[in-house]
Amino acid sequence: MSAFERFLESFFNPKLMLRYWPDIAQGMLVTVEIALAVLASGLALGLGLALARSYRIAPVSAAIVVFVDVFRALPPLVLILIIYFGLPSVGVNLSAFAVLWLVLSLVLAAFAEEAIWAGILSVRRGQWDAARSTGLGFGQALIHVVLPQAVRLAIPPLTNRTIAITKNTALGTVIGVGEVINQAQTAVSFSGNATPLMMAAVGYLAIFAPVVALGAFIEKRFAWRRA
Amino acid sequence: MTSGPLAANGAERPILQVRGLVKRFGALEVLKGIDFAVAPQELVFVIGPSGSGKSTLLRCCNRLEEPDEGSIMVDGVELTDPRCDINAMRRRIGMVFQSFNLYPHLSALRNVTLALRKVLRKSRREADEIGRAALARVGLSDKVAAYPAELSGGQQQRVAIARALSLEPKIMLFDEPTSALDPELVGSVLATMRDMRESGLTMVVVSHEMRFARDAADRVVFMDGGRIVEEGTPEKIFTAPENPRARAFVAEIAR
């Protein structure tokens, strides 16, 4: 057996591919589900926090800053382990899926809040002046004038962050969420062969390459000139 | 012309009446006690060196800046009263900015209709109708769908004027409306302002467009160091100001 054949045998074994593809596909489905759930709740919460911070109520802003700093500073894995193994001892039992979703949502929310808040801050004061001078209230000026501009400014950092954090769904494997890596690892331990991991890698490409392309498209689509 | 320089002291109630206005930014006192009134249909020019407080005075008149002391009455309503609904008052006080401040994510028409829809609660159809009429009035019927970035500075400023006009304000405040414009674009904005003046709108204009002031203003106010130092007819202020600083300033901008 040549080196190349050995390489193919241990990374791209057709028999194992055939045997494990349903498991990998099942794992991909779980990964997509978590990623979508994290995306929706993380971005929504981040947006809500950025809006809340706009009102500049000191205790509210301080709480948001603490939340954002903590969740940006801690590795998601640490949070996952703490919540998954810690909460049951105080009587809260969350499924592994729920813990993964919760942690990644909070982490994405923290980064999204920072990106959108930075966007809100970089909208020029004249925009507020113009909106308020026509009688729009603070909230109306925020929603109709400032936020649409802030979100456009936030989109490039936000797409990168969103992709990075949704890829962290792989961390679910340490608490037994049946996502794609978890399925692949199980298959590896049964087969003693790296082929399932290669399949998982291809699965990630299939899921995230379109997301990366979509991110680039969104960035282009929303990159307009300032007047 | 319905009002002369002294109309504000006469029987007719002023649209804008400022008394004892003081504004500080930290330790810096920018307005040091301003008394100022504008009669209905009057066009008042405010001139003065940069840092003299002109823009701040204007911005206090719709409380974009909060005054520290004094009173500001617009159309008989005290703006500094805590019970005053400032958003309701602001739609009666149009404002035009040096940097236009159009909303870059909205078309010219949507720039005009936003407040009509959200503040005056007009239907989309009615707001669009008013918006189109306002844009037609400033000569931009063909730019209804254009975005700010697609318009010249002069066109942007005219959209901004239409945005303020569409709310049918009692008074319009202009904060250096032409100073960010290339010289060849100034004329179109001044023509629009002249048209508004002829329709009887009350206007306060911070600007150094002397030619426009000479043939359109009822009164010119000269500010220096946070105070109104001299006021009078354009004729008087531009040819024979009494105050030495006013004289020096006028000589400087006339060059």
pLDDT in tens, B165-176: 999 999 999 999
Q: What does the alpha-carbon distance between residue B154 and residue B159 come to, in Å, rounded to a whole number?
A: 9
Beta carbons of B165 and B171 less than 8 angstroms apart: no
Average pLDDT of chain B, as a whole number: 92
* pLDDT digit string, tens, across residues A32-53: 999 999 999 999 999 999 999 9
Beta carbons of A31 and A173 less than 8 angstroms apart: no
> How much of chain A, in percent, has pLDDT values that exceed 70?
98
Superfamily of domain B12-88+206-255: P-loop containing nucleotide triphosphate hydrolases (3.40.50.300)
Q: What does the alpha-carbon distance between residue B142 and residue B145 come to, in Å, rounded to a whole number?
A: 8
Best probe of the A interface among B101, B113, B130, B143, by most A CBs < 10 A, is: B101
Q: A227 or B247, which is more confident?
A: B247
**According to the per-residue pLDDT averaged within each range, which of A149-153, B79-83, B158-162, B185-189 is highest?**
B158-162
With CA atoms as reference, the chain A residue closest to B120 would be: A135
Its ipTM equals 0.91
Q: Quick one: average pLDDT of B214-238?
A: 94
Instruction: Report pLDDT for A224.
Output: 59
Token pair in block for residue A5 = 């054949």
B50-85 burial string, b = 16+ CB within 10 Å, else e? eebbbbbbbbbbbbbbebeebebbbbeeebbeeeee
Nearest to B99 by CA among B58, B163, B21, B156: B156
The label of the residue with tokens 């009509």 reads: B116
Name chain A contacts of B100, Cβ cutoff 8 Å: 227
Reply yes or no on whether the pLDDT at A123 is more than 50: yes
The structural domains of chain A, ordered by start, are: 3-222 (1.10.3720.10)
Cβ–Cβ below 8 Å for A135 and B102: no
Instruction: Report pLDDT for B11.
Output: 54
Reply yes or no on whether the pLDDT at B245 is more than 80: yes
Reply yes or no on whether the pLDDT at A227 is more than 60: no
With CA atoms as reference, the chain B residue closest to A227 would be: B149
Beta carbons of A177 and A34 less than 8 angstroms apart: yes
Instruction: Report pLDDT for A197.
Output: 92
Q: Count other Cβ atoms within 10 Å, centred on residue B153.
A: 18
Question: pTM (2 decimals)?
Answer: 0.88
Asked if A146 is an interface residue toward chain B (Cβ–Cβ < 8 A), one would say: no
Cβ–Cβ below 8 Å for B147 and A132: no
